[in-house]
Chain A
């Protein structure tokens, strides 16, 4: 609730309020969609299939018509904002406008694909979105836990990597996925504990410490991978994997079923954690104290809250969460490889900021990044004229715009990154 309550400065901004500025951008996007995408789209049908094969039920629309129509939707949303929309409608109308623009773009792309390929398998795309977003969700939640209590967590990358490695190693040795999962949590917590000790006890700059820990994790896991896993992959890098659990009934829901209810334990755990952490942060004593310590540790201290102890606890919990996130690779999808996280920890950090330090916000941001990633893959598969690198760039562009304040003011916990020194 702290974040939702960020108030726009009550100063008179003249005609160009934030709503109007965003509206102008939406109008421009809508025009782009209706005119350019409409002109480029072909008369082929654009099919969005709901089942897993191309022949099944699908939503269809003529490419040109769709591109123009959805472009006009975005245009209308922008125009409504320009006309002076009440503030409570802002998020909804913004969402409608952006989705309209996206659909206009997709109508063009899908209809322009070679005949026979002019369909988009929604189930596959959405499932891929969740797969790609999952490590980001865990990573961003680790960031939420840490930073809400006032410790900057740049070490998410290292925590994920150490979790992935420990999960693979101990899962292989024991032959049990559960042992692997616990080991992954401990591995992530180990990196976190180092961060906590140096940041809280020895007051080392938290960003620098995070980067150092990332390098440490890459070095240690890389070394052990070469020495241990590569020489004897059979016994050290062949962890058992969690299978997918189909949830009865729910998994039969069209579209949602296959996407949300036929996943592995990590999908369920990730979504559950978002919910749990969100409720805990805003509804429990622990959450109130955590937020107080992250915003104004001196105030918390004067009321008898143990600032440092709470920070230790939260940083280590963050490591546990990120460690499990790392295991979502090695205990479900792939064998461990050197530096296999490949920067996802930093994207999780971006998701944390984009999601304004709230668990649900982080979830949405992670899904957005995952979707953009998946879309780029899909578009290159249908021989799109748009370079996939360009699409891969878009999420980060969005993050920069978000951080620059275009999508509402982003405010970190006030004491984030500041060590607390008593007296």
Chain B
């Protein structure tokens, strides 16, 4: 890092950007390696060391106490006190300090406002002011634009430019290419915990996208041409909010036919998770319809959706897919433990469960010491196979697989892919969501690209990956593609928030 530089750290979610920065801020301790400041190694035992070394951080999830005033939040940890031992807060001075910094960097905040009453953009400004009152030289902004509206993002970029002019260095973490190109002096791309390249802001968007998404795993999946049948899943005008009540899915229409694989590509965090959860009945849909084999699923419980013949491989197997403390056999019947032959009345049938577990362990090549081993002791790939085995053991109409091979070894990837294709050939409609572009290209018969809560385009699998990369970055091609372009969004590369027009 150079003084007065804006350095962008670009990478997918889970690539290790935030972890790296948390180490830099002293929150996590490094296992190996060292941090150099002015050529001297720096040992950080905690955030106070980092603050003392002139490092400030604005976290992705704000570190503000919601019920405190702005001045209280800024004063916390570095309180101005008078009255000696008593340590009475000098509120007037705290307020004045806020006012000073606000004026100097043109960051307007009301010191007496309660933080939870403030809009997100202002809360972020409070965070920046908080760091600035501590005289930092290096400011880390962790995904600062993830929660901002386009206008707020513009304001933030202006603020960053003025900080740069004041000689502060900024590390700007993001996965949004447009912003990086707009503001960064230098770009480092991180994937799976490793630096995979550096670039200048002149680099084109698809170069950056390619670096981010990577082409490390070249996958070829043997498959026949698909024979699409009747539509099984129809999604129309679906609108879903994420946990923060920010619009995540903003009017998605898509159809999955029997006997085809629809791949959903896109940089993570563009609404894929929320889309799937809404289809599965795990998250309320605010508008739009989901039709499963002719029946509207509005108001259905997740259990009812599953019983209607939907298989679901969730994107985070350790949280949503498995009960780690349960045995392999138990995990294999989590969905149908209460149905014959596994359960009768109030009782489980351990014999039937054990027999079926043995069969499926063999059939799906799950490497485990026994069916009674806790599933948490298995490797990631084998855990994933347990989930796939469970979901594919029911007669399915629709299979939804989210990140089906994340953190899975190459051998298991091939096996899981072949199972997915096998299911397709049996006439099941399949929807695969993955942030690995190669996986989507390898499996899908049609590829829908999601960007900012919308399907920005639907293309065929033989579309050049550069073109798909552009779509993932939010750029729609001018020329026609081999697929069916369902593009309605403007082709302008300016960063536009999902649902920006819905916001007052």
A interface residue numbers (CB < 8 A to B): 2, 5, 7, 283-286, 288-289, 291-292, 295-296, 298-305, 414, 422-423
> B63 touching A299 by the CB < 8 A rule?
yes
Interface pick from B82-90, B177-185, B198-206: B82-90
Residue of B nearest to A411 (CB): B67
Interface residue? B13 (CB, 8 A): no
Complex: A5 Cα to B112 Cα, angstroms? 12
> A2 touching B27 by the CB < 8 A rule?
no
> B57 touching A302 by the CB < 8 A rule?
yes
> B68 touching A284 by the CB < 8 A rule?
no
> B63 touching A292 by the CB < 8 A rule?
no
Complex: A149 Cα to B130 Cα, angstroms? 22
> B89 touching A285 by the CB < 8 A rule?
yes
Majority secondary structure, B binding face: loop
B interface residue numbers (CB < 8 A to A): 25, 27-29, 46-48, 51, 57, 59, 62-68, 72-73, 75-79, 81, 86-89, 114, 117
What are some 14 contacts across the A-B interface (CB < 8 A)? A283-B89, A284-B88, A285-B79, A288-B68, A299-B64, A301-B46, A303-B48, A303-B63, A303-B77, A304-B46, A304-B47, A304-B48, A414-B66, A423-B27
Contact of A291 among B46, B62, B65, B78 (CB under 8 A): B65
With a cutoff of 8 Å between Cβ atoms, the chain B residues found around residue A414 in the complex are 66-67
Complex: A301 Cα to B27 Cα, angstroms? 9
Contact of A299 among B29, B51, B65 (CB under 8 A): B65
> B67 touching A5 by the CB < 8 A rule?
yes
Besides the known contacts A301-B27, A302-B59, 8 further A-B residue pairs in the complex with CB atoms under 8 A apart: A283-B89, A284-B87, A292-B68, A300-B65, A300-B76, A303-B63, A304-B46, A414-B67
> A284 touching B86 by the CB < 8 A rule?
yes
Complex: A286 Cα to B46 Cα, angstroms? 20
Complex: A284 Cα to B82 Cα, angstroms? 9
Complex: A414 Cα to B66 Cα, angstroms? 9
> A304 touching B77 by the CB < 8 A rule?
yes
With a cutoff of 8 Å between Cβ atoms, the chain B residues found around residue A283 in the complex are 88-89
Complex: A289 Cα to B29 Cα, angstroms? 24
Contact of B68 among A2, A285, A304 (CB under 8 A): A2
Contact of B47 among A5, A292, A301 (CB under 8 A): A301
> A288 touching B76 by the CB < 8 A rule?
yes
Closest chain-B Cβ to A306's Cβ sits at a distance in Å of 9
With a cutoff of 8 Å between Cβ atoms, the chain A residues found around residue B114 in the complex are 5, 7
The 10 closest A-B pairs by CB, nearest first: A303-B77, A304-B48, A299-B63, A285-B87, A2-B67, A285-B79, A296-B65, A295-B65, A302-B63, A284-B87
With a cutoff of 8 Å between Cβ atoms, the chain A residues found around residue B67 in the complex are 2, 5, 291, 295, 414
> A300 touching B77 by the CB < 8 A rule?
yes
With a cutoff of 8 Å between Cβ atoms, the chain B residues found around residue A302 in the complex are 25, 27, 47, 57, 59, 63
Count chain A CB atoms within 10 A of each CB in B28, B59, B81, B87 and give the residue with the most. B87
Complex: A134 Cα to B187 Cα, angstroms? 65
The verdict on A288 contacting B75 (CB below 8 Å), with A7-B117, A302-B25 known, is yes
> A292 touching B76 by the CB < 8 A rule?
yes
The verdict on A303 contacting B78 (CB below 8 Å), with A292-B65, A296-B65, A296-B66 known, is yes
Closest chain-A Cβ to B110's Cβ sits at a distance in Å of 14
Count chain A CB atoms within 10 A of each CB in B62, B76, B81 and give the residue with the most. B76
With a cutoff of 8 Å between Cβ atoms, the chain B residues found around residue A299 in the complex are 62-65, 73, 76
Residue of B nearest to A423 (CB): B28
Complex: A305 Cα to B27 Cα, angstroms? 13
Closest chain-B Cβ to A392's Cβ sits at a distance in Å of 35
Closest chain-A Cβ to B135's Cβ sits at a distance in Å of 14
With a cutoff of 8 Å between Cβ atoms, the chain A residues found around residue B66 in the complex are 295-296, 414
Closest chain-A Cβ to B295's Cβ sits at a distance in Å of 34
Contact of A303 among B29, B76, B86, B117 (CB under 8 A): B76
Complex: A305 Cα to B67 Cα, angstroms? 18
Residue of A nearest to B69 (CB): A1
With a cutoff of 8 Å between Cβ atoms, the chain A residues found around residue B79 in the complex are 285, 288-289
Complex: A410 Cα to B79 Cα, angstroms? 29
